[in-house]
Amino acid sequence: MPRRALELLDAPAPAPANSLLQMQSSPAQWGSPLLFFFLGALLVLVILLILILILWKFVKPADVLKLATRENMRLESTDVFSGNPRTISHFDLQTLKKATNSFHRANLLGKGGFGPVYRGKLEDGRLVAVKKLSLDTSRQGESEFLGEVRTITSIQHRNLVRLLGYCSDGPQRLLVYDYMKNRSLDLVIYGKGDQFLPWSIRFQIIVGIARGLQYLHEDSHFRIVHSDIKASNILLDGKFQPRIGDFGLARFFPEDQTFLSSPFAGTLGYTAPEYAIRGELSEKADIYSFGVLVLEIIGSRKNTDFSLPSEMQYLPDYAWRLCERSRVLDLVDPKMREDGFMEKDILLAIHVAFLCLQPHANLRPPCQRS
Ligand SMILES: Nc1ncnc2c1ncn2[C@@H]1O[C@H](COP(=O)(O)OP(=O)(O)OP(=O)(O)O)[C@@H](O)[C@H]1O
Ligand SMILES: [Mg+2]
């Protein structure tokens, strides 16, 4: 028995205070310990009744409901973040404010559908990209936030962007990634910047994206469909190695199902017909988007461009037409033609793109074969 408990047992019994029982009489006087027990129980009952009355009068049912919801949310986020605590850490808002100079405009890298992305420098010198999700009235930002954290903490590959941590502070939701020195593929291939990428680098990017997709679809623990493969979601490190980013719309996929029924939520122009029309989402939708992306990389242009003559406006259609006329190399960016390219490799890449763009999902190859 612990010493403290023994000391308490040895100590002389405290002098009785002016308790209710003392004021009346001792149990012996009443002649029955049963009555003593009865009085005690009655006292407890009275106290309980008084407490219930107080609660009834002062606590509104809405408050109880609010409390329960908050607790639910807390449990839900604990579940989300318990995915893999070794690879993701929590950042507090102050640290991220300091890193981005209070989210200064000069550090703005870009703005997507879910909010702005800022460049930041942590105290230990690491460069990061901080995505500040706007939690609009539809609360879409919240599901993007949870989706991204859930997916990316459960996978790791050199062609997938690395999520370093998150911040959840009141209504604020932020995601912190490795900063990618060459930002995203759209900035390079749509000619927004003045950087020109030779064919060898473009080929390396195509192969890297295919490897990242193969990992998601076939090699990771889970079968994952990204569902928003596009140029601005392909990030480029200092050596122009690609990393697939933006997992907010990604979906875990049961092994025994051929597709998920899901309302369309990707980007028009990259969307496979069965997903756009019937809401049938599978890894074949990513393969289709990859096909569009390969044509964009070869032609240095967007999949849809209304400033071009009508037959050239939609890139996959235009490519098919050129193929029918045996003039498929007309797709190649004129600057790249000047710079020189491996005709054999380009023809191979175009061939792969055509296979990926098959209208019937079953005819599209898996990434491994692409
Ligand atoms: N880790 C990063 N390193 C460097 N730049 C980044 C990083 N993540 C995002 N960016 C830049 O921020 C821009 C905005 O990214 P974001 O994903 O929010 O928008 P988006 O891809 O243009 O649109 P969407 O919301 O449809 O994905 C990107 O285009 C890219 O240039
Ligand atoms: Mg994006």
Task: Work out the pLDDT band at 3, boundaries 50, 70, 90.
Answer: very low
The percentage of residues in the chain with a pLDDT greater than 90, rounded to a whole number, is: 50
Q: For residue 74, how far is its CA from the centre of ligand 1 (angstroms)?
A: 29
State the average pLDDT over residues 326-347: 90
pLDDT digits (tens, 9 = 90+) for 110-150: 988 778 999 999 999 999 999 998 766 445 677 778 877 87
pLDDT surpasses 60 at 75: no
Band of residue 158 on the pLDDT scale cut at 50, 70, 90: very high
How many angstroms separate the CA atoms of 267 and 306, rounded? 17
Whether the pLDDT of residue 85 is over 60: the answer is no
CB 286 within 8 A of CB 225: yes
Query: How much is the pLDDT for 181?
Result: 95
- Class of 185-363 per CATH? mainly alpha
112 CA → ligand 1 middle, Å: 6
What pLDDT score does 27 carry?
Answer: 46
Ligand 1 centre from 129 Cα, in Å? 9
Between 100 and 83, whose confidence is greater?
100
Strand partners, 66: none
Q: Given a cut of 90, is residue 338 above it in pLDDT?
A: no
110 alpha carbon to ligand 1 midpoint, in Å?
A: 6
Domain 64-178, architecture per CATH: 2-Layer Sandwich (3.30)
Q: Does the pLDDT of residue 64 top 50, yes or no?
A: no
pLDDT band at 6 (very low <50, low <70, confident <90, very high): very low
Nearest-ligand number for the alpha carbon of 180: 1
Determine the atom of ligand 1 nearest the C-alpha atom of 114.
25
Ligand nearest to the CA of residue 112, numbered in listed order = 1
Residue 48, Cα to own-chain centre: how many angstroms?
48
Which residues form the pocket of ligand 1, taking CB atoms under 6 Å from any ligand atom?
A: 109-110, 112-114, 117, 129, 131, 161, 177-180, 183-184, 187, 232-233, 235, 245-246
pLDDT at position 37 is: 79
Closest-approaching ligand to the CA atom of 110: 1
- Give residue-wise pLDDT tens across range 254-264: 877 888 888 87
Domain with CATH 3.30.200.20 in the chain: 64-178
Closest atom, ligand 1, to C-alpha of 233: 21
List where CATH 1.10.510.10 sits in the chain: 185-363
> In terms of Cα–Cα distance, which of 322, 342, 339, 340 is closest to 331?
322
Pocket test for ligand 1, best of 152, 232, 236, 302 (most atoms within 8 A of CB): 232
| Residue 115 backbone class (left: φ over 0; alpha: ψ -120 to 50; beta: rest) | left
Reply yes or no on whether the pLDDT at 70 is more than 50. no
Looking at ligand 1, which residue's alpha carbon is closest to its atom 13? 110
pLDDT of residue 256: 77
Catalytic residue list = 228
Asked whether the beta carbons of 93 and 169 are under 8 A apart, the reply is yes
pLDDT tens-digit map of 26-50:
444 545 677 777 888 888 888 888 8
What pairing do the DSSP bridges indicate for beta strands 89-90 and 163-169?
Answer: parallel
Asked if 118 and 107 touch (Cβ cutoff 8 Å), the reply is yes
Residue 159 has pLDDT above 80, yes or no: yes
86 vs 290 pLDDT, higher one: 290
**How would residue 236 be classed by pLDDT, with cut points 50, 70 and 90?**
very high
Q: Which residue has the higher pLDDT, 14 or 161?
A: 161
For 184-223, the pLDDT digits (tens) are 999 999 876 678 899 999 999 999 999 999 999 998 888 8
For 289-324, the pLDDT digits (tens) are 999 999 999 999 999 999 999 999 999 999 999 999
Mean pLDDT of the chain: 81
- Sorted by sequence, the CB contacts under 8 Å of residue 240 that are 6+ apart come out as 182, 197, 201, 204, 205
Tens of pLDDT, residues 161-189: 988 999 988 888 899 999 999 999 999 99
3-state secondary structure of 358: coil
Please provide the DSSP assignment of 220-287 as one string.
SSSEEE-----GGGEEE-TT--EEE---TT-EEE-TT-S-EE----S-TTS--HHHHHH-EESHHHHH
* pLDDT over 70 (residue 12): no
The sign of the dihedral angle between the CA atoms of 12, 14, 20, 22 is positive
| Percent of the chain predicted with pLDDT > 70 | 80
**Kindly report the CA angle at 205 between 202 and 210, in degrees rounded to 5?**
130
Q: What is the pLDDT of residue 249?
A: 85
**Residues 88, 155 contacting (CB under 8 angstroms):** no
